[in-house]
Structure 1
Amino acid sequence: WRGSVYKMVWKDMLVYIILYFSISFIYRFGLDESQRETFEKLSLHCGYFRNLIPISFVLGFYVSLVVSRWWGMYESMPWPDKLSVLLSTHIQGHDARARMLRCTVIRYVNLSFLITFSMIAPAVKKNFPTLQQMMDAGYMTANEKELLEDLEKKTKVHKTWVPFMWACKIVDRARREGRIRDDVAQKTVTDEILRLRGCCGELLGWDEYNIPLVYTQVVTIAVYSFFLFSVIGEQFLDPSKKYDHNIIDIYVPVFTLLQFFFYIGWLKVAESLINPFGEDDHDFEFVALLKRHLE
């Protein structure tokens, strides 16, 4: 049930079914012959013009855009695994100093991840609302916290780049100490740190610039208008009058309900993927991701 399409569409489906059968009941038992003829003309009119709405084209293009955007967000997610392998390979030594250098670089990178995620994900912001909570969780020391707080007073620009800079300085220090064998190895590690910094920057960009609201509104209005007209236009009319496509009365509009389920489900999928940084069932699990990276 969690994260399923049924959970997303059942309320809309229930409202649609109630409206459809209420109108059907009124048509069958609440109207006289003259009123029934007027309703039948209205139903045929709504059914004809409803089909002129290019719902498949509009919705399909919108969902394609949203899914492409969602996949771009996923590909921008930073993972420290490659950096960990590079550090283990290029920072040589099994003594405490070598281990400290490797762990410090990874800690700084994870700190940058945490700062980035706290800016875009409400769930992370709730767990780490201030630098103090980040320090208590082991992401930074008291001195590093003071440096970030001083920088916060000087500028309001995000600070995700600062721990990355610290990580690059640690790599440079390891090279000067002879723990990294050559400049090529140092460049390889530094390039990976900078690539992760780029991933964090991309996430901030995805969060700041969303799909234009007007486009989402057009698609939503088109889909709901389509089914608002279908409440009347898809009614089963008197078969004895031999209207086009009304040769049988089966009371329950099976195919119309399937169409509603598919199109509304399609729209709900797009709505759920448009911002995967939230706290819905299907959004990215940033808190679990941070725990995994820290371990």
Structure 2
Amino acid sequence: MADLSLFSNEQIAALLSALPDPAFILTRSGRYAAIFGGTDSRYYHDGSSLVGKSISDVLNQEKAAWFQAQIAIALAARGLHVVEYPLAGDDVKGVGADGPVETIWFEGRVQPLEYQVMGEDAVLWVASNITASKKLEALLRMQSETDALTGLANRRKLMSGLTEHFELFARYKTPTSVLIFDIDHFKGINDEYGHLAGDKAITTTAQVCQRELRAADFPARLGGDEFVVLMPHTDADHAMKISERLRLKIAEALLELGTLGKGATISGGLSEMIAGDTSYEEVLKRADDALYLAKRNGRNRIVRHRAN
């Protein structure tokens, strides 16, 4: 602990004013009693005009209520309370077009004070701009969940989505269908036309999925030339119509490439989550079995697995 007797009041005030991050003294009722620091002009504006105002004067009702709740939590805990929170332009009253274009993220370190301020319990709230680290975190998360070649969800993200929707099905019996498909004779494409042609077939297939499927559908690249489409809130009858349309559109797009001889087609297997399933793996297994039947029955078709 620093010996403050070594510093004059003026020096202490100067030290507080020099803090790069802003430090707010906030009362239990949400009044700004004092503001120190915030000198890093890359991230912060002069907040001196806030002194004397209430949080509800500055922020919209929902956000103001959240801040007051965090103050109450810190005071009840009687110790440091750390939170992360976003602030967007429409969270702040009166800024209009002058507000931030994008959401800004902060880490708040909220420490109860041992004395009252303006007749109320109070906290010291130090706010640090963490937008850059949040953007990096989002980028790394996206990269970890996205297939580099196609831009679709990768296997890891697919399994997460299947888990989530299976839990919804198990709880609410929400109809959900799963399509597995791959490109017919894909090895022959690679062998005859080269791996670049194979990659082009894969990326073209992915682009058709992104263009033709509904916003709620979840296409993913399982690996190689194999794809999975998760169709939430969709029974097998409806999913079959979607799958057939996708099959035809992919065949058209691959034919238009003009580099795959007579073109290429897809074969797929379709299954629906059913009562008695204990995991999404059972749904995938049925869809994979149906894909095998589609291959055996001549390819260029979607086969629906029908429960016994």
Normalised to the residue count of structure 1, the TM-score between the two structures is: 0.21
| Higher RCO structure, 1 or 2 (CA under 8 Å, sep 6+) | 1
Report which of the two has the higher share of helix. Answer: 1
